[in-house]
Amino acid sequence: MPEPIKMEYDVPGDDFTRAGAASGDVKSVLKKLGLSSEAVRKVAISMYEGEINMVIHGGGGKIYVEITPEAVRMSLVDHGPGIKDISLAMQEGWSTAPESVRNLGFGAGMGLPNMKKYSDHMEIHSVVGEGTTVDMTVQVI
Ligand SMILES: Nc1ncnc2c1ncn2[C@@H]1O[C@H](COP(=O)(O)OP(=O)(O)OP(=O)(O)O)[C@@H](O)[C@H]1O
Ligand SMILES: [Mg+2]
């Protein structure tokens, strides 16, 4: 049983037009490790959406990734404003993104629904005024 591979990323809270560095790096690591293209795609999409959310809505934060032979686990932690109503935020098309962000192609309200769809397990813990943690698991076998 090999040791899990652990990685950590600082996600900056300012320039979301260049965000995606962490999910891009994880994607290339998983490819090198020889994971199936389906598993790589599921991790890349769900983590990218979570990473962008941290930048646009959460003021940046940290992403922790753990890779085992069975699964890829991601924990996305920010100390932003939090999510008041998680079930509302999970609905397709619901977004608080401002006009300026929508004009750049973000803010369709599809990130969280896609994170749920492409991960095998997702949990959101959020406290208004304290921040948000999103845990996601993608099963590898
Ligand atoms: N980390 C977060 N911190 C605070 N609020 C969040 C966070 N992630 C999501 N939200 C809230 O949930 C809403 C829905 O998120 P979702 O990712 O589904 O859509 P979006 O980011 O607005 O648009 P899209 O992802 O399609 O570009 C956001 O508009 C925001 O209000
Ligand atoms: Mg989003």
Nearest to 73 by CA among 134, 128, 127, 20: 134
Q: Name which residue sits closest to atom 6 of ligand 1, judged by CA.
A: 57
* CA atoms of 56 and 14, how far apart (whole Å): 8
Model pLDDT for residues 80-133, shown as the tens digit of each residue:
999 999 999 999 999 999 999 999 899 999 999 999 999 999 999 999 999 999
Question: Does 14 score more than 80 pLDDT?
Answer: no
Please tell me whether residue 41 adopts helix, strand or coil conformation: helix
First CA to last CA across the chain, in angstroms? 15
pLDDT at 58: 96
Model pLDDT for residues 50-77, shown as the tens digit of each residue:
999 999 999 999 999 999 999 999 999 9
The ligand 1 site (C-beta within 6 Å) comprises 49, 53-54, 56-58, 78, 80-81, 83, 89, 94-97, 106-113, 132
Nearest to 51 by CA among 74, 81, 84: 74
* CA atoms of 40 and 35, how far apart (whole Å): 6
pLDDT at 93: 97
Question: Does 1 score more than 70 pLDDT?
Answer: no
User: pTM (2 decimals)?
Assistant: 0.96
Per the DSSP assignment, residues forming a β-bridge with 7 are: 65
Q: Name which residue sits closest to atom 3 of ligand 1, judged by CA.
A: 58
| Helix 21-33 with 37-56: angle, nearest 10 deg | 170
* CA atoms of 74 and 90, how far apart (whole Å): 18
* CA atoms of 64 and 135, how far apart (whole Å): 9
pLDDT at 17: 74
Task: Among 46, 49, 57, name the best residue to mutate to test ligand 1's pocket (greatest count of ligand atoms within 8 A of Cβ).
Answer: 57
Tell me the average pLDDT across 4-31. Answer: 92
Q: Is 89 exposed, middle or buried (0-12, 13-18, 19+ CB in 10 A)?
A: buried
Give the nearest ligand 1 atom to 112 CA: 18
What is the Å distance from ligand 2's center to 110 Cα? Answer: 6
Are 112 and 61 in contact, with CB atoms under 8 Å apart?
A: no
Longest dimension (CA), the chain: 50
